[in-house]
Amino acid sequence: MLARRHDIVAHLRALVPGEGVIDAEIERRAYESDGLTAYRQLPMVVVLPSTTAEVVAVLRYCHAEGIKVVPRGAGTSLSGGALPLEDGVLLGLGKFKKVLEIDIANRCAVVQPGVTNLAITQAVQGEGFYYAPDPSSQIACTIGGNVAENSGGVHCLKYGLTTNNVIGVEMVTMEGEVLRLGGKHYDAGGLDLLGVMVGSEGLLGVVTEVTVRILPKPPGARALLIGFPDVEGAGACVAAIIAAGIIPGGMEMMDKLAIEAAEAFVHANYPLDAEALLIVELDGCEAEVNHLVAAVEDLARHHGASSIRASTSEEERLLFWAGRKAAFPAVGRLSPDYYCMDGTIPRQRLTQVLARMKQLEARYRLRVANVFHAGDGNLHPLILYDANQPGELERAEAFGSDILRLCVEVGGVLTGEHGVGVEKRDLMDTMFDAVDLDQQLRLKCAFDAQSLLNPGKVFPQLCNCAELGRVHVKGGQTRFPELPRF
Amino acid sequence: MTIHKPQQRADVAEIITQASADGTALAIVGAGSKLGLGRHAPCADQLDMSGFAGGLDYQPSELVLSAGAGTPLAQIEALLAENRQMLAFEPPDWSGLLGAGGSGTLGGVIATNIAGPRRVKSGAPRDHFLGFHGVNGRGDMFKAGGRVVKNVTGYDLAKIQAGAFGTLAVLTDITLKVVPAPETSVTLVLRGEDEQAAFASMTRALNSPHEVSGAAFLPAAAAARAGGFGGDATSVTLLRLEGHGPSVAFRAGALASMLAGGDVLPEAASLALWREIACVQPLLQRTDSLVWKLNPQPSRAASVLAEVQARLPVTSCFMDWGGGLLWIELDPAVPDAGAGVMREALARAGGHAMLVRASEALRAQVPVFAPLEAGLARLTARIKAAYDPADVLNCGRMYPPVVS
Ligand SMILES: Cc1cc2nc3c(=O)[nH]c(=O)nc-3n(C[C@H](O)[C@H](O)[C@H](O)COP(=O)(O)OP(=O)(O)OC[C@H]3O[C@@H](n4cnc5c(N)ncnc54)[C@H](O)[C@@H]3O)c2cc1C
């Protein structure tokens, strides 16, 4: 493949004219990794199409020539989903930047995949609407990447993930066929293929247009900052809020190290005496918000809160959030490097999981700061390490794997919103057995029979479609040796 | 016909492995409440899943419930109600519509992906379906998804399973997300609007921040068949508000003043009314009629309806989901069950139509589901083959078997 590089680049230049094909090594370097920077690989060539027709032409050519393709949005993936291949085309969707239509009567917007998450809200807020899923990376990440990762954010507890807010896509298959899934109407008319496209990590097709549901902006919101002397109290308070029939707009938890880091960074007046901090946001009409603020305050007192503050102005509400939103960079100041994990657990196992994490901290001699989407059990332990110290990166990765195994062991899952990518693919067998994985691979084969689209991601084994289709595949096969290990 | 009634997942695997080796088609049946739904394509044998009832695992504070696929829906709804929780998608009871007893099983609701009026706010079964155990058409026992609300580990196979009408795999165990039930609910009623005006009111309401969780329009004839409106003989536009007491009270006032009028139907009447709407009761004039469910782009609902009314013998109709759902009853004598006209209208407006009620003979001849465009049809056939290569699971229930 690499021997043909020159020829391939020339062909691609004919398909995507102008500056759409990037060949020079120095320029390709910009694409060598995504948000998971520990993994790097220079792509064979970068192609930046600007129309669906160009995407079709590139994929047709690559399909005919057996060339692998890795789609990429903004490259903020935290699981290495957009990690290039040495012998593959990196297909960047960054030029698909138009908001195509805002359709208020049908409460949706049609956008190109390279539009950033935040830009959708900005495009519709003048009409009093917003796009609900709000990953912390929303200034940078693209809706195409959100669709591929089924991204979440702090408002997902009440308003759902990407999958609940995307109602249609146009996609191009690896064979270069354009398909439209869903649309402005409700529900699929046939199989819900849109439902499997969302969260498919760029393995099933290249998304070239997205129709999203937009929601009327709630008239108001207030946030509560609640400190607890122990994690148990905070966890019990979260359960009590939900048991009382309250689904907050957002409900986040931070542990002591995260509280200290955030406070030092943004000075939001976080309670430094607390072992655990809850931020609970209640949104809706004023009558509702005030009613629920009072109800949550009562529950917090009942569960031993050591401090309770309710925001009384929009500035104060945003200040409460500023610490949480800056938690990653804030923790980043405590340590040269950090490694962000993303498991989900049943909430009732929180105390147990945090206690086990403490033991692991001692064993791996690394510290962890915890931020946590408390409402839905999605943990983001941030492991602090120093890549310049020999062996620390490896220790951090081993620690991270142990945390994810622990999540699965208590009934949770490997990833709540960041995706499997290359990072967690070798842990897939802690959750799924060979038969489960084969069923997923068969679906992949129905979309991409030659496994040319983003191969090496998600699955611990490369897909052999002919084999899967032919015979009953028994468990316990050996892993494919040709798959590169990182 | 052999009726298999397995009790264990391994039994299901064995039955399917055998059926796929012999090429014997299996009809998958829960409580049989939705047997009349979908293409009519008789299967040689039956797989009765009622043995998979129970096995409940439910922690209210986790907002997650797991149960066997054969568990009666009524049992699950009662259990949730005891804990002041519910299934957000408001599974409707179509037994009156389909002439069957009861609301069926959990597996049937997922397989058909049917949602009630709250669809506009809270989504369909697919949006709340977190994970499952099942057996594919090769007889492989597999699982997908998980038992937590937030999970992106691997492909979201639950999504494609919802609405597949049992043609991909047999579900044995199902995990769903549940939500708190609203403390109270009321309905704002606007009288005498026509389709256009009703669509405008529903859109203003749904586009407002008042969190409308039901938006339906009943023309006068349909309104006469809905409990509360008996003799009034005017059309009604219905806007439901649900939630915490003080919030509902405030929003009902705000919505009425925004729309300059309307009466408020209190909780008990509101609950009864939306139950009737979910059951499609206001539509049903006669027992032998054809019933279509149209999902147009909401903004085109009134024009689609006008076109269908102009070209077909419509005996009754109403709108739900703010125009996103049109229920249409036709005189049974209409040629091709009206499919040609329905599909032409929707091809222009965007959306799809399903023939929900018709004789077995009609449901064998007329495409019940919207015919797929060529590329999607090929992909759909490849996916079917990936799950069920011998085409034994509910063979032909969605599309005629692909002849290769
Ligand atoms: C600081 C920071 C905070 C973050 N916070 C959150 C958070 O709160 N919640 C959350 O869920 N995630 C979060 N993320 C992760 C990341 O931002 C999301 O996964 C995001 O959706 C990735 O979008 P992207 O455009 O950067 O995609 P990329 O990183 O470029 O790609 C991600 C995956 O999508 C595929 N892909 C991209 N575009 C397309 C397309 N058009 N068609 C097909 N496949 C495509 C790629 O192949 C790859 O597999 C965070 C990341 C960072 C760096």
* pLDDT for the residue numbered A430: 96
At residue A2 the predicted structure's pLDDT band, cuts being 50, 70 and 90, is confident
Mean pLDDT on A125-150: 97
> Of A377, A224, A241, A375, which Cα lies nearest the Cα of A302?
A241
Do residue A420 and residue B249 have CB atoms under 8 angstroms apart? no
CB B301 within 8 A of CB B350: no
Dump pLDDT digits (tens) for A384-404: 999 999 999 999 999 999 999
CA distance A336 to A316: 31
Mean pLDDT on A20-41: 95
* pLDDT for the residue numbered A83: 98
| Structural element, H or E, at residue B184 | strand B184-191
Q: Search chain B and give the residue with CA nearest A239.
A: B61
* pLDDT for the residue numbered B273: 96
Q: Domain spanning B184-281: which CATH class is it, in words?
A: alpha beta
Place of tokens 């949550």: A296
CA distance A436 to A430: 11
CA A82 / ligand 1 centre spacing (Å): 8
Do residue A186 and residue B119 have CB atoms under 8 angstroms apart? yes
CA dihedral B69, B72, B76, B79 (to 10 degrees): -140
How open is the CA angle B306-B312-B315, to the nearest 5 degrees? Answer: 85
What 3-state DSSP class applies to B201?
helix
Residue nearest to atom 1 of ligand 1 (CA): A137
> Of B56, B76, B75, which Cα lies nearest the Cα of B66?
B56
Mean pLDDT on B176-197: 97
Hey, of A77, A191, A415, which one would you mutate to test binding to chain B, going by the most B CBs within 10 A of its CB?
Answer: A191
Can you give the residue ranges of every domain in chain B? 3-180, 184-281, 284-365
CA B43 / ligand 1 centre spacing (Å): 45
Residue of B156, B383, B399 lying closest to A199 (CB–CB): B156
Record the tokens describing residue A93, joined without a space. Answer: 């969707």
3-state helix, strand, coil in chain A (%, to 5): 40, 20, 40
- In the β-sheet with B314-320, what is the strand arrangement from edge to edge? B263-265, B184-191, B236-243, B212-218, B314-320, B325-330, B290-296, B351-357
> Of A402, A396, A399, A454, which Cα lies nearest the Cα of A430?
A402
What ipTM was estimated for this complex? Answer: 0.97
CB A79 within 8 A of CB A415: yes
What's the pTM value of the predicted model, to 2 decimals?
0.96
* pLDDT for the residue numbered B402: 64
Dump pLDDT digits (tens) for B292-311: 999 999 999 999 999 999 99
Q: Identify residue B276 by its one-letter amino acid code.
A: E
Q: Search chain B and give the residue with CA nearest A408.
A: B146
What 3-state DSSP class applies to B171?
strand
Residue nearest to atom 45 of ligand 1 (CA): A202
- Measured between beta carbons, the chain B residues lying within 8 angstroms of A466 are none
Residue nearest to atom 27 of ligand 1 (CA): A145
Do residue B209 and residue A216 have CB atoms under 8 angstroms apart? yes
Dump pLDDT digits (tens) for A173-229: 999 999 999 999 999 889 999 999 999 999 999 999 999 999 999 999 999 999 999
Record the tokens describing residue A151, joined without a space. Answer: 């991204």
Which of A136, A157, A379, A457 most suits a substitution to test ligand 1, by most atoms within 8 Å of the C-beta? A136
Do residue B398 and residue A439 have CB atoms under 8 angstroms apart? no
CA dihedral A231, A233, A234, A235 (to 10 degrees): 80
CB B98 within 8 A of CB B119: no
Mean pLDDT on A432-438: 96
CATH of domain B284-365: 3.30.70.260
B3-180 and B284-365, same CATH topology: no
| Structural element, H or E, at residue B205 | helix B195-207
CB B161 within 8 A of CB B171: yes
Which of A56, A58, A77 most suits a substitution to test ligand 1, by most atoms within 8 Å of the C-beta? A77
CA distance A242 to A254: 18
Residue nearest to atom 11 of ligand 1 (CA): A151
Q: Enumerate residues lining ligand 1, CB below 6 A.
A: A 34-35, 70-78, 81-82, 93, 113, 135-137, 141-142, 144-146, 148-149, 151-153, 201-202, 206-207, 328, 417-418, 454
Is residue A111's pLDDT more than 60?
A: yes
Phi, psi of A58 (to 5 degrees): -65, -45
How open is the CA angle A165-B64-A426, to the nearest 5 degrees? Answer: 75
Q: What CATH fold (topology level) applies to the domain B3-180?
A: 3.30.465
> Where do the DSSP E strands lie in A61-165?
68-72, 88-92, 99-103, 108-111, 129-130
CA distance A73 to A114: 6
